[in-house]
């Protein structure tokens, strides 16, 4: 089950389409979606979590707490809508494209993809791009 929660003045345009997309991306890599909660918030909300739980005093676009068990994906994904908007402008992409990239990024972490080294970042970006292609078809 995928739930979308809003801690700011923002609402996704097509929740059911996005739920189906996330489930498809997971199942194509032999994972099953258990309970994934997306929490859309602002910079201040996410910054507080970043300091409290990760000891990082920086702004970020996403924090994912992974509670997956084997191939069953579970967790909470917090996304700063403000940060996504700023990043979209910086990367010269639409807000929707950047939002979808960040949304699937958290799920890919649950599937074991990392993004610390340059090779890991390249693999993560490749997986994000493949997932985004499925959404646009």
For 35, list phi and psi in degrees, rounded to 5: -120, 110
**If you average pLDDT over every residue of the chain, what do you get?**
94
Q: Pairing mode, if any, of strands 62-66 and 72-80?
A: antiparallel
- The terminus-to-terminus CA distance of the chain in angstroms comes to 23
Tell me the per-residue pLDDT of 117-128, one tens digit each, with 9 for 90 and over: 999 999 999 999
Tell me the per-residue pLDDT of 39-56, one tens digit each, with 9 for 90 and over: 999 999 999 998 988 888
* Residue 58: per-residue pLDDT: 83
pLDDT band at 15 (very low <50, low <70, confident <90, very high): very high
For 8, list phi and psi in degrees, rounded to 5: -150, 170
* Residue 26: per-residue pLDDT: 97
Bin 44: left if φ > 0, else alpha if -120 < ψ < 50, else beta: alpha
Asked whether the predicted pLDDT for residue 137 surpasses 80, the reply is no
* Residue 52: per-residue pLDDT: 85
Q: Contact, 79 vs 42, CB < 8 A? A: no
Asked whether the predicted pLDDT for residue 37 surpasses 70, the reply is yes
What residue ranges define each of the domains in the chain, with the CATH number in brackets?
2-136 (3.40.390.30)
The overall pTM is greater than 0.85? yes
* Residues with Cβ within 8 Å of residue 48, at least 6 apart in sequence: none
* Residue 125: per-residue pLDDT: 95
Asked whether the predicted pLDDT for residue 67 surpasses 80, the reply is yes
Q: Compute the distance between CA of residue 126 and CA of residue 120 in angstroms, rounded to an integer.
A: 10
* Residue 136: per-residue pLDDT: 77
* Residue 54: per-residue pLDDT: 81
Q: Compute the distance between CA of residue 3 and CA of residue 36 in angstroms, rounded to an integer.
A: 6
Asked whether the predicted pLDDT for residue 82 surpasses 70, the reply is yes
Q: Contact, 119 vs 9, CB < 8 A? A: no
109 known member of a binding site: yes
61 known member of a binding site: no
């Amino acid at each position: 089950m995928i739930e979308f929660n809003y801690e700011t003045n923002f609402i996704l345009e097509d929740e059911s389409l996005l739920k189906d997309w996330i489930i498809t991306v997971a199942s194509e890599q032999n994972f099953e979606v258990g309970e994934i909660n997306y929490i859309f918030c602002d910079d201040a909300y996410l910054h507080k979590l970043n300091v409290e739980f990760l000891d990082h005093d920086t702004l970020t676009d996403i924090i994912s707490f992974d509670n997956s068990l084997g191939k069953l994906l579970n967790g909470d994904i917090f996304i700063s809508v403000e940060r996504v908007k700023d990043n979209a402008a910086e990367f010269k992409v639409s807000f929707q494209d950047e939002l979808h990239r960040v949304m699937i990024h958290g799920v890919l972490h649950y599937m074991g993809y990392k993004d610390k080294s340059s090779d890991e970042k390249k693999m993560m970006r490749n997986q994000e791009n493949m997932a985004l292609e499925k959404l646009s078809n």
